[in-house]
Amino acid sequence: MKILSRRFGALLLLLALPACKADEKPSTWEIIQGDAELTMSAALHPSTRATLATYASRTGEISIHDDSTTSGWIRIAAGDTVQLDGVVTKEGGDWFVTFDDLLPAEYEVITDGDFPDSFGLISTTVLNSDVTGDAVPEQHRIYWQFER
């Protein structure tokens, strides 16, 4: 009986070892590579990243291809769709997406390994325009959240 129990214990240990690797968080590339839908669009405070305004009617999708190029679109308003053709780069430990025909063009990639099916893009440029509807310009960054 002891031999059977030891064999069973060894079998459980062998089965548990591969599961340890499953606890590793995915890399930024593993999170962003592939197709994703726009789930949130907002204007964020430049330093605190507090939400100043959200744009619930915006829709879109992005594809981040194996060769680090991007394609996709975001519908800003009726009749106003922007293309998301660009490239993903890594500078030091930070990831960026730079779009060809979009202003602002450069966005920092935001990921959290605890949420491997979503990522954010926040503009590196601080904009100054009215985003709250009070006719007073606010400094802000553009934020887009995508999910698979």
Residue 116 lies in a domain: yes
Q: What is the pLDDT of residue 22?
A: 58
SS3 88: strand
Q: What is the pLDDT of residue 7?
A: 47
Residue 5 lies in a domain: no
Residue 108 lies in a domain: yes
Q: What is the pLDDT of residue 134?
A: 93
Residue 3 lies in a domain: no
Show the domain range for 47: 28-147
Residue 81 lies in a domain: yes
- Residue 91 gets the label, from left (phi > 0), alpha (psi -120 to 50) or beta, of beta
Q: What is the pLDDT of residue 21?
A: 55
Count of domains observed in the chain: 1
Residue 2 lies in a domain: no
In order along its 148 residues, the chain shows pLDDT tens digits of 444 444 444 444 444 445 445 578 999 999 999 999 999 999 999 999 999 999 999 999 999 999 999 999 999 988 999 999 999 999 999 999 999 999 999 999 999 999 999 999 999 999 999 999 999 999 999 999 999 9
How far apart, in whole angstroms, are the C-alpha atoms of residue 74 and residue 102? 11
Residue 46 lies in a domain: yes
SS3 121: strand
Q: What is the pLDDT of residue 23?
A: 73
Q: Which CATH number covers residue 54?
A: 2.40.128
Beta-bridge mates of residue 99: 86
Residue 15 lies in a domain: no
Nearest to 119 by CA among 88, 84, 144, 86: 144
